[in-house]
Amino acid sequence: MRWVLLATCALALAGCQTSGEATPSANAATAGAPPANYRQLAADYVKSSFKDPYSIRDAEIAPPKPGTGPSLNSDGFTTPWVVCLRANAKNSMGAYTGRKVTALALSNEKVVNAWDETQYSRMVCEGVAYTPFPEIEEKRAAR
């Protein structure tokens, strides 16, 4: 019985060997065209995920850029588009925290992953060209 288990493990691991060359996975999808509604997708994410979305100020967003490669997310393995945004919002204690960077992974017209103020979000969003993002800022006069 032990040798059957050992042989099965050896065969399974043998399938993991590579020749050193990177070959694209047949299951990996490409990024495709950038989502035209990325601003609305980002706004919807912020309104449903931030602790106090009505306190946001100094918001900015960058246009989508292709992700760094296929990743596993809610749509399976895809190469998502990455949208970077930064904003100053209140935390759970009611104090403004300063402008924080959030990276959103978009695939099939939805947000499939997000990284809020992490090393990854700062790295992937470094050097992007931000523009104002008033869609997520509460209109002060409307209150």
For 58-69, the pLDDT digits (tens) are: 999 999 998 877
HEC string of 4-22 equals: HHHHHHHHHHHCCCCCCCC
For 14-56, the pLDDT digits (tens) are: 344 333 333 333 323 455 788 999 999 999 999 999 888 989 9
Which runs of consecutive H residues, i.e. helices, occur in the chain? 2-14, 38-49, 119-124
**Tokens matching residue 114:** 């997000």
Which pLDDT score, from 0 to 100, does residue 31 have?
59
The total of other beta-carbon atoms located within 10 Å of residue 104's CB is: 25
